[in-house]
């Protein structure tokens, strides 16, 4: 009897392991889903300022997943004054399954990241000094840190970064009690 239970348990574990590994993200399916995203974020994930949509190319898959989940759960895109987040939230909720989400993210991660164009003039040295407060979470080179849920900032559009800093300062972003990641910022 013990052998039989052990065999059944082992078989169950192997089936579960196979099932969870069975879905390799399908970038072709993700590309098809991305067609809707391209309207705002650009065909190559380059972002579109006119649509107030940030650059997605160059962002890590874990961060894209984190943000999609934040929009879907309502911790992002529901605050008063978050006009652009309110536009994104319903788009995130159209992803019917975790598989569709993973496929979309796999496609976005495959997009080549091109340098963002500077649109804001400022004092680079003063910015470097101010960035010292950001290094602990976002990294010396703004490369991000998954363990701290801190995204890559390098390569992102300056206009978008400025808007997000302002959103965090006013509580439009990170103000929801369920947004523990946003509250860090």
Q: Is the dihedral of CA 69, 113, 165, 90 positive or negative?
A: negative
Within the chain, residue ranges assigned H as helices are 2-22, 27-41, 61-73, 83-92, 98-110, 124-131, 135-138, 158-170, 180-184
pLDDT confidence of residue 39: 96
The Cα 104–Cα 109 span in angstroms is: 9
Residue 1 CB: number of other CB atoms within 10 A? 5
Contact 34, 102 (CB under 8 A): no
pLDDT (tens digit per residue) in 47-71: 999 999 999 999 999 999 999 999 9
β-bridge mates for residue 53, sequence order: 48
Query: pTM value?
Result: 0.85
pLDDT (tens digit per residue) in 77-88: 999 999 999 999
pLDDT (tens digit per residue) in 11-34: 333 333 433 444 578 999 999 999
44, pLDDT greater than 80? yes
Q: Is the dihedral of CA 49, 51, 55, 57 positive or negative?
A: negative
Structure tokens belonging to residue 1:
């009897």
């Amino acid at each position: 009897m013990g052998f039989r239970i052990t065999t059944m348990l082992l078989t169950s574990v192997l089936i579960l392991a196979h099932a969870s590994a069975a879905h390799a993200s399908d970038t072709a399916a993700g590309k098809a889903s991305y067609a809707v995203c391209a309207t705002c974020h650009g065909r190559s994930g380059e972002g579109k300022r006119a649509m107030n949509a940030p650059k997605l190319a160059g962002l890590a898959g874990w961060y894209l997943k984190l943000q999609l989940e934040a929009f879907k759960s309502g911790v992002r895109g529901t605050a008063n004054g978050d006009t652009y987040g309110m536009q994104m939230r319903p788009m995130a909720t159209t992803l019917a399954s975790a598989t569709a989400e993973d496929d979309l993210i796999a496609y976005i991660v495959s997009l080549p990241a091109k340098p963002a164009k500077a649109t804001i003039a400022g004092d680079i040295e003063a910015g470097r000094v101010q960035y010292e407060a950001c290094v602990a979470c976002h990294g010396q080179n703004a490369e991000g840190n998954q363990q701290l849920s801190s995204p890559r900032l390098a390569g992102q559009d300056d206009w978008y970064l400025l808007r997000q800093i302002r959103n965090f300062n006013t509580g439009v972003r990170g103000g929801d009690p369920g947004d523990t990641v946003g509250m860090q910022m």
